Structure 1
Amino acid sequence: MAKGKVGQAVGSLGDYLKEQRVSARLSLRQLAAQAGVSNPYLSQIERGLRKPSAEVLQQIAKALRISAEQLYIRAGILSPDDGVGRSVELAILGDAGLTERQKQSLLDVYASFLALNAAEDVAKAQETAPKSAEIDPEDLTTEGKSANGQV
């Protein structure tokens, strides 16, 4: 992921978290306590200075009583366009038995499998597509001419 895109995703996440916290009528300290994170860390997330892990996002979502999936999308962990594999990705992210590094590795492997399968599907489609009428180059030179070369 490009560095600029990560910054935008985190900034967008921070703004969204602040909106949700304010609408839930929670102070920064109250939300931090409910989510089990420090007040300064939560403040840095809201200001777009830190990118929280999926586990921290899940804790914040639970404290705010909102969808963790929305936070994952805003943080750039999930893509809103990836409807097919979302349940697999969410299962990985929600598994408390995995470390953050293991979760990211599994997500990377899963994404690479999807990309490989998509590339194979494109190749198969190109192989089975009807070929356009192929013209023999010699046909171009003799087309419309008689045996002696005159039209």
Structure 2
Amino acid sequence: MASLNVGSLGEYIREQRRNAQYSLRQLAEAAGVSNPYLSQIERGLRKPSAEILQQIARALRISAETLYVQAGILDERQEAGLELRAGILADPLINERQKQVLLAIYDSFLKENAAAAPDGPAAAGAVEKAIATAKAVGARAAQMRVPGMGTAKDGSWHGQDEAQDRNQDQAPDQAQDQGPDGAVQTTGD
């Protein structure tokens, strides 16, 4: 865990408070902390807990993770990962299965990168392992019938053109259409 950097944390909170056009008293009330305690945090005299930082972040309408990074509780790479996850989970344009597949792919890459240091002996096989993992996740996605994701018979990735390719391979008396859920439906005469 990184060390607590209270001086710059307090300065950062003060800057965010001023940007939000809050007085010290207004922010303290909105965050549910006392005015003197918030003043001490801003001056770098007190070390707030993660819970207090979360309350302050909520009152300022900023990411709690941003304050955790400023406090040294969380490093920036972890924050980026959390923001990515939050973005995927909040995206209204993809369904729950697609969200889970994207998170699984991301997690598999993180595990591969953590297992193989860039200059270590395992680095040579890391790319091959990542590709194999991505193919396995793609195969699971195809089994889950996630539109636009899957693997061809040779294990290569393919996207939305998959349904069009299959339509062209069909006999003239059969056609395939994508239904409202994205699943391919076969119709005959």
Which TM-score bucket, shorter chain as reference?
A: 0.5 to 0.7
Number of aligned residue pairs: give it.
100
For normalisation by structure 2, the TM-score amounts to: 0.43
Instruction: Provide runs of 4+ in structure 1 moved above 2 Å.
Output: 81-87, 125-129
What is the RMSD computed on CA atoms of the aligned residues? 3.3
**Cα 1:19/1:127, change in 2 over 3 Å:** closer
Is the 8 Å Cα contact of residues 66 and 79 (structure 2) preserved in structure 1?
A: no
Rg: which structure is higher?
Answer: 1
More helix by share: 1
Kindly state the Cα deviation for residue 27 of structure 1 after the two structures are TM-superposed: 1.1
Residue 126 (str. 1) matches residue 160 (str. 2): no
Kindly state the Cα deviation for residue 83 of structure 1 after the two structures are TM-superposed: 5.7
Letter in 1 for 2:121: Q
1:107-126 equivalences under 5 Å are 118=114, 121-122=116-117, 125-126=120-121
1:138-149 equivalences under 5 Å are none
Bigger relative contact order, structure 1 or 2 (CA pairs below 8 A, ≥6 apart): 1
Letter in 1 for 2:49: S
Q: Distance in 2 between matches of 1:128 and 1:22?
A: 47
Find the residue that maps to 2:51 and give its secondary structure.
helix
Q: State the partner residue of 1:32.
A: 28
Instruction: Give structure 1 stretches of 5+ with no counterpart.
Output: 91-113, 130-151
1:45-124 equivalences under 5 Å are 45-82=41-78, 86=82, 118=114, 121-122=116-117
Instruction: Give structure 2 stretches of 5+ with no counterpart.
Output: 87-109, 125-189
Q: For each residue in 1:31-76, what CA deviation from the matched residue of structure 2 results, as whole angstroms up to 9, or x when unmatched?
A: 1111000111101110111111111111111111111111111011
- Identity value in percent: 65
Kindly state the Cα deviation for residue 128 of structure 1 after the two structures are TM-superposed: 8.4
Is the 8 Å Cα contact of residues 11 and 42 (structure 2) preserved in structure 1?
A: yes
More strand by share: 2
